[in-house]
Structure 1
Amino acid sequence: MKWFQGPTQTTRSEHIEDYAIRKIPSYYRWPIPAIIAVLLGNSTAMFFFTFGAQLSYVVGWPDMLWPLSYFFIGSTIIGMMMIRLASKEGLTIDLMTRGMGFGYMGSAVTSFIYGMNYVFYFLFEGTIVTHAISLYFHVEFDAVEGTLIFGALGLVKLLFVWYGMKALQIFQTWGVVIYALLLGLCLYQLTHHYQVAGPDRWVLPWLPEHSMWIAFMMANGQMVFQGLMAADYGRFAKENSGYRGGFLAMIGMLVPMFVTILIGPLFAYTLMPTITGGDAKMLAADSGYVFPKVIGIWGVLFVLVTQFRVNVMNLYSGSLALSNTFSLAFRFKPGRQFWMIIVYVLGCVFYSFNIVQYLENWLAITGILTNTWIFIMLADHYVCRKLLRLGPTDFIEYRRPFLYRWNPTGLISLGFGVSVGVFGMLGLYPIYYASFLSMIVGAVLHIILTAATRGFYYFTEFPYDRETHWIPPSYYRGKAPDG
C-alpha cells in the first residue's frame, strides 16, 4: 500500500494550502500510483459517458475510433511532457507559465481564464447530478428547489477537498471502489433487462459531410485539457519521475477514461428504443437520465458518487488557478480554500441564472485559448529553449523579481492564435478547423517572436541562486548567467 501513500511528516497548513503559489518541496512528493488514484476521479466523470454517446452520433462505429486514437495518443504525449516539467519544477501550470513566454502578469490572464473554465466544469458536472435527483424525486430542475439541491451538494464537495491532495487521494481511492460496484450493477441490469446494442448497432447508414472533422474537433478540445489537468496533480510526483512517470500517469488516467467513453454509446443505443417521451437521442446521452432509468435509486447514487469524484477536482484545480491570478494581479493571498469557496459560489450563482445554456459557447472559446496556451508553452520549452538555446532548460523561473511583468512574445502569440480561432467561431471559415489553426498559429508565432527578440524577455536579471548548465549562444540578447 506504500505505492498509494503520500508524505506523512507534513503539517495541517501544508494540506490546506497545498503549495498553490509556491514550489513543492522534495519531502511533499507522492508516488505515481497515488497520483493515478486521484486522476481516476476525472477518468470516470459522467461527461465522458455523454462524450462517447455524442461522438457515436456524429461518426458512428468504427469511425469513432479515429478521433479517439488521436485523443489518446495526443493526450498521452502532451500530458507526459507537461507532467515531466511540472514534477521536475514542483510548480503548477500557472506558475510555470510565468517564465515560459508570458511574464508574471501575463500568466495572471491565462490563469484567470483557466480558473473560470473550472467554474463552468463545476457547473456542468453539478448540473448532471442535480438533474438526476430532480427527475427521480419529481422536483423542478430549473426552479429554486434545483438551486438548493445544487448548493447543498456543492457544500459537501467542499468538505471533501478542504484538505487538498491528502484528502483527495483518500476520497478518490475509496470512491473508485464504490464507482466500480455500482457500474457493475448497472451493466448487469442492462444486459439482463434490455436488448443490448453492441458496436455493430452503432454504425451510421451514411457519414454526413465534414462529420469526421467535427469528431476530431470534439477530440481536440479534450486532448490538451486532459494533459493540462493531469499536470496539476503530476506536479506532486518525485522530481526524477521524468517522461516515464508522466507516461504511466497518463496511461493510468486515460485507459479507464476510454472504457467510460465506449460505455456511453453502449447505454445510449440500448436505451434509445425504450424512450417514448421527449428527445430519445438526447435523453439516451444524458447520464442524469440514463442511470436512474436502469437501476433506479442506485442510479441516482451512482451519478452522485461519480460527480462528487470529478467535481472535487474541479474545485481544487479552479482554486489553484485563481490563487495565482489574484496573488499576481493584486497581491491578494487569502489562501486556496478561499478560492475554492469562490468557485462554489460562482457555480451556484450561474446555476440559478441558467448560465449553463451558454456553456457550449464558453467552453468552445476557452478550449481554443487553452489549446493555444499549452502549445505555446511546449513550443517555448522544446523549440525556443532546447533547439534554439534561447533560454535554460534545466529550470523554469517563476519568481517575480527575475521576470518581466508582461512578455510580449507569448501574449501576442496567444492573442493572435485565439483571434484566428474566434474567426472560425464567427463563421469566417469552417468552425471545425478553429482549434487546430489557433494552436498551430500561436505556437509558430511564439517561436518566430522569441527568435526575433533573441530571448530578451525571459529575465529582467538572471536568477543568481540558480545553477545551470546553459551556455547562451552568441545571438542571445537577454540576461545571461554571468550577468
Structure 2
Amino acid sequence: MSVIKEQERPLKPKRSFNKLVNNPVLEDYALRYAPKSFRKWTEFTVMNSALGGIAYMADFAIGGSVALSYGFMNALVAILVVAAIIFLTGIPIAYYSAKYNIDMDLLTRGAGFGYYGSTLTSLVYASFTFIYFSLEGSVMAQALQMYFHIPLAVGYLICSLVVIPLVMFGMTALSKMQVATQPVWLIMMLGPFVAIAFKDPMAFVHWFHFAGSSKSGAHFNALEFGLAAGVTLSLIAQIGEQVDYLRFMPNKTKANRSKWMWAVILAGPGWVILGAIKQLGGSLLASYIEPALGAVQADEPINMYTQAFHTVVPGAFAALSVATFFVLLSQIKINTTNAYSGSLSWSNFFSRIFHFHPGRVVWLFLNVGIALALMEGGVFGFLNTVLGFYANVAVAWIGALVSDLVINKSLLKISPSYIEYKRGHLYNFNPVGFGSMIIASGISIAAFFNAFGPTMQAFSPFVSIVLAFVLAPIIALVTRGKYYIARENTTRQATLLELPLHSVEHEADVEPSTTLCANCGYEYEQEDMLDCPFHKGSICSLCCSLEKNCHDMCKKNSATAGHQHSHSLKA
C-alpha cells in the first residue's frame, strides 16, 4: 500500500482504516497479496526465517511420547512414513504460495474451497497455531519452573506475553531474529547427540530395543504404528506457517531460478526433514532418560536436554542452565511464528464473517489468549489424544487442497491455472475442496471414535487424507469446474503472473503497475485490485472483503458466468 499525494486522493474516501491496518510493518499484508514493493528480502533470508520457525521442542515431545507409548520400531516407521507424506504434500502448496505471494488462507480460497468455504480451514489453521503455541509454551514453562522455580501458572503467562512485542512487527522483526539465532540453535540442538554417540554409544543400542509401554514389545505392530502416525500427522498443517514466510519470496527470474526453487523446497516441505530428525532425537532421549526419571517425565524436553547436556557440560546445575537457555531460545523462535500465523488466520476468518478488520495485531492478542487458556487447562498432559483427533481434520484440508493443485489444475485442467482469492470473483462455497474436506473429516472422526472398529480407528487420519485427495477431482468432474470462478476479473491484466511457468520468470527490476482504490483512496498493485459495480470503479481486495452493503451484486449472474468462465481458464 502506498499513500498518494493529497490532491490525487478522492476528497472523501468511503472507507478509512485505523493506524494498525495502515501501518504495513504491523499489518504485514495479513489479508492481501504481498506486493513486490514490500518483498525486499533475499531468497536466503526468507528461507532462513521460515526454517527458524521450526525450532520448536514439540517435535522432541512428540517423538518421545510415541516412543514411550508404542515403542521404538513403531515410532520410527510412523515418523518416516509421515515425513514422506508431509514432504510430498508440501511441495505444491509451497510452490503456488511463493509464486503468487499469498498466504495459506488466500491459497485455499482459490484452490477449491471458495470465499466462505475457506473460513472453516481458517479455523482449522488457527487451531493448529494455538494448540502448538500452548504445547510449546508448556515446554517453556516447565523449563522456567525447573530452573527459576516459577509456578507453572505464572510461567504460562510469562511465556505467552514475551512473544507479543516481536510478533507485532511481523516479518520485519521476525526475519532478523530468526536469522541471528539460527546458528546457535543448530549447534545446541545437535551437540548433545554427538556427545552421546561418543561417550555412551550403548544408548543407541538401548534405543533400538526400546519397547516403552507397547503391547508388542520392541516389534512392529500395525495398529500401534497407525496410532503413532496419527499423532505425527497432526504436524501436516505446519506447511501453513512455512507459507506465511514464503509469500515474501522475491519474484522468480531466470537469474535466480535455481536459488528460488531451492529456497522454496527447503523452507516449504523441507522443514519436515529437520522435524523428523528432531522427533527421532526425542524418541532417543526419552529412551535414554526413562530408566532414571520414569515415563511420566521422560517426554518433557527440558528433562531430555538437561540429561543430554550433562554428557557435555560438567555439573548438574551447569547442564540445567544450558538446557534451560536452549529450551527458552527454541520456544521463543517457534512461538513467535505460532502467534504470527494465528494472527493471520484469525484476521482472515473475522474479516469474512463480520466484515470487520481492526488490524492483525488485535487478533494476535486473541490467539495468545486462547493458547494461554489451554496451557492453564493442562493441554500438555493430553498430547497424544489432542493431536490424534486434530490430525483427522487437518489432513482432510491438506489432502483436498493438494489434490486441487496437482490433479485439478495441472492434470485435469478443470481448476483455473492461476490462484484467484478475491471475494468479488469467487463463489461463496466450492464443493470441490469444501465438500471433500467435510466428507473426509466426518468419516475419519467417526473412525477415530471407534465407529468402524480398531483398525479404522488406528488409521483414521490415513482414511481422511486418502478420501479428501480422491473426492476433490471426482467432485470437480461432476460439477465440471462450475464453482471456481463466479465472474471474470476484468481488471486483471495479462501480466506474466498469469502465464505458464516459463513466462513467469520476469525480470526482478520490472515494477508492477498500481491502481487507485475507489473506496479507501490508496494505491495497490494491480494483482490486488478488482472491478466493483457497487463502488463504480476498481477497489482493493480488502475493501471488497469488508464491504457489507453490496450483497454480492457483482455476482448476481454468477451461475452462468462461472460456468462459461471455467472453460476459458483451462489453459
Q: Bin the TM-score by the shorter chain.
A: 0.7 to 0.9
Contact residue 118 and residue 315 of structure 1 kept, 8 A: yes
Q: How does 1:80-479 map to 2 (within 5 A)?
A: 80-141=91-152, 146=153, 148-183=154-189, 186=192, 197-203=203-209, 204=211, 205-207=217-219, 209=221, 210-222=223-235, 224-240=236-252, 244-250=262-268, 253-275=271-293, 280-292=294-306, 294=310, 295-354=319-378, 360-393=384-417, 395-429=418-452, 430=454, 431-466=457-492, 467=494, 477-479=563-565
- TM-aligned CA deviation for residue 105 of structure 1: 1.1
What amino acid is the match of 1:477?
H
Contact residue 196 and residue 270 of structure 1 kept, 8 A: no
Contact residue 271 and residue 284 of structure 1 kept, 8 A: yes
- TM-aligned CA deviation for residue 15 of structure 1: 2.1
1:16 to 1:282, Cα distance in 2 relative to 1, 3 A: same
What amino acid is the match of 1:291?
Y
What amino acid is the match of 2:231?
M
Distance 2:264 2:104 in 1: 15
1:248 to 1:353, Cα distance in 2 relative to 1, 3 A: closer
| Bigger Cα displacement from structure 2, 364-373 vs 66-75 | 66-75
The count of aligned residue pairs is: 457
Distance 2:158 2:34 in 1: 33
> Which residue number corresponds to residue 85 of structure 2?
74
Distance 2:250 2:273 in 1: 23
Distance 2:55 2:25 in 1: 25
| Bigger Cα displacement from structure 2, 325-334 vs 176-185 | 176-185
| Bigger Cα displacement from structure 2, 235-244 vs 124-133 | 235-244
Distance 2:197 2:568 in 1: 70
1:262-312: CA deviation from partner (whole Å, max 9, x where unpaired) = 32233222222323xxxx123122113333454122222221111111111
Distance 2:335 2:301 in 1: 15
- TM-aligned CA deviation for residue 331 of structure 1: 1.2
Structure in which a larger fraction of residues adopt helix: 1
What amino acid is the match of 1:418?
S
Residue aligned with 2:97, SS: helix
1:65 to 1:290, Cα distance in 2 relative to 1, 3 A: closer
- TM-aligned CA deviation for residue 314 of structure 1: 0.4
Distance 1:292 1:39 in 2: 27
Contact residue 339 and residue 364 of structure 2 kept, 8 A: yes
Distance 2:97 2:190 in 1: 36
Distance 1:192 1:284 in 2: 22
- TM-aligned CA deviation for residue 23 of structure 1: 0.5
Contact residue 51 and residue 267 of structure 2 kept, 8 A: no
Distance 1:253 1:129 in 2: 22
Contact residue 444 and residue 463 of structure 2 kept, 8 A: yes
Contact residue 53 and residue 264 of structure 1 kept, 8 A: yes
Distance 2:111 2:207 in 1: 48
Unaligned ranges ≥5, structure 1 = 1-10, 471-475
- TM-aligned CA deviation for residue 221 of structure 1: 2.9
- TM-aligned CA deviation for residue 252 of structure 1: 5.3
1:341 to 1:196, Cα distance in 2 relative to 1, 3 A: farther
- State the superposition RMSD in angstroms: 2.9
- TM-aligned CA deviation for residue 175 of structure 1: 2.0
Distance 1:454 1:374 in 2: 22
1:299 to 1:206, Cα distance in 2 relative to 1, 3 A: closer
1:388 to 1:354, Cα distance in 2 relative to 1, 3 A: same
Distance 1:234 1:164 in 2: 13
1:247 to 1:319, Cα distance in 2 relative to 1, 3 A: same
> Which residue number corresponds to residue 29 of structure 2?
19
1:265 to 1:181, Cα distance in 2 relative to 1, 3 A: same
Contact residue 26 and residue 361 of structure 2 kept, 8 A: yes
Distance 1:250 1:50 in 2: 22
* TM-score, normalised with respect to structure 2: 0.73
What amino acid is the match of 1:235?
R
Unaligned ranges ≥5, structure 2 = 1-20, 212-216, 311-318, 501-561
1:190-241: CA deviation from partner (whole Å, max 9, x where unpaired) = 679878611454324542642233333334332x223333222222223326
1:360 to 1:271, Cα distance in 2 relative to 1, 3 A: closer
1:441 to 1:482, Cα distance in 2 relative to 1, 3 A: closer
Distance 2:116 2:190 in 1: 48
1:370-392: CA deviation from partner (whole Å, max 9, x where unpaired) = 21112111212222232222232
| Bigger Cα displacement from structure 2, 22-31 vs 50-59 | 50-59
What amino acid is the match of 1:163?
F
1:449 to 1:192, Cα distance in 2 relative to 1, 3 A: closer
Distance 1:64 1:154 in 2: 31
1:86 to 1:397, Cα distance in 2 relative to 1, 3 A: same
1:31 to 1:469, Cα distance in 2 relative to 1, 3 A: closer
Contact residue 52 and residue 264 of structure 1 kept, 8 A: yes
* TM-score, normalised with respect to structure 1: 0.85
| Bigger Cα displacement from structure 2, 446-455 vs 181-190 | 181-190
Larger gyration radius, structure 1 or structure 2: 2
Contact residue 72 and residue 283 of structure 2 kept, 8 A: no
Distance 1:355 1:273 in 2: 25
What amino acid is the match of 1:453?
T
Residue aligned with 2:563, SS: coil
Percent identical among aligned pairs is 25
